[in-house]
Amino acid sequence: MSMRGIGLLRKGLDVIYPPVCVLCGAPGSAGRALCAACAGGLPQVEHACACCGRPLAPIAGTVCGRCLRRPPPYDAVFAPLRYAEPVDRLIAEFKFRGRLAHATLCAALLIDAAERAGRRPPALLLPVPLHRARLRERGYNQALEMARPLARHWGVRVDAFALRRVRATRAQMQLPARQRLRNLRGAFAVSSRARLPAAVAIVDDVMTTGATAAELARVLRRAGVKRVEIWALARAGEAR
């Protein structure tokens, strides 16, 4: 079926089975599983550090003190929402409870924010990889499920195999910030078959301390990539 046919089918299904807000159960808005009230109440990142994407006070400039002291190995972060209620609940349901339909909504929210900001990703999207044991356990990679709608919208490429998690690690959520970098050391590799352009975007659902993004960026730099962006729906933490 053509993309136009798929679009018409989706519109027809929306008429028969109108979407319901995943946060409050009210009728969805604009053909999405999110009502206008809940969409308007999402915690936005109004001002962020240009390097790490952490929420930043408007009077603090464009780069936080942490990044001025020690710039991260990636070039920019686009993460339009704060990792706070109800975004954290939406992501948890998507990531840990099998709510794969949330991928479409998360991607749509990211696309909307990017277009309002006049942003678009590079020509290659790289979802954060899961170790094969974690992938078997979960059954899907939430970063890949988000990356696919982004790639379709912007007409760019997504490569689910360019990055590999070669070492199983403890869940980052279980560790203090200082231990997360050590936990990820040597955990990732670039596939020998990967065709990497000069600029890529790493896609994830949420960026917390930035340890995963930093380690992936280092691996990509060693493989010859010149610019690494991080695209995530939500950002945790505050800039300092």
- pLDDT tens, position by position, 178-191: 555 566 777 899 99
Structure tokens at 36: 């206008």
* Mean pLDDT taken over the chain: 88
The count of structural domains within the chain is 2
Tens digits of residue pLDDT in 164-222: 998 766 554 555 555 555 667 778 999 999 999 999 999 999 999 898 999 999 999 99
Give the number of residues written for the chain: 240
Distances (CA, A) of 59 to 67, 121, 207: 16, 27, 23
Asked if residue 147 and residue 67 are part of one domain, the reply reads yes
How far is Cα 55 from Cα 53, in angstroms, rounded to an integer?
A: 6
pLDDT-based confidence at 143, cuts 50/70/90? very high
Q: The domain containing residue 33 runs over which residues?
A: 1-41
Mark whether 2 and 23 lie in a shared domain.
Answer: yes
Burial class from Cβ neighbours inside 10 Å (0-12, 13-18, 19+) for residue 134 reads middle
Task: Based on the fold, state whether residues 48 and 68 are members of the same structural domain.
Answer: yes
Q: Is residue 240 part of a domain?
A: no
The answer to whether 183 and 170 are in contact (CB under 8 A) is yes
Pairing type for strands 227-235 and 157-158 reads: unpaired
Residue given tokens 């749509």 in the structure block = 108
Same domain, 34 and 48: no
Residue 59 has φ and ψ, to the nearest 5°, of: -85, 0
Quote the pTM value.
0.86
Q: Tell me, yes or no, whether 51 and 163 share the same domain.
A: yes
Tokens of 24: 């409050």
Query: Helices 211-222 and 177-184, interaxial angle, to 10°?
Result: 30
Does residue 117 carry a pLDDT above 80? yes
Task: Please name the amino acid found at residue 161.
Answer: F
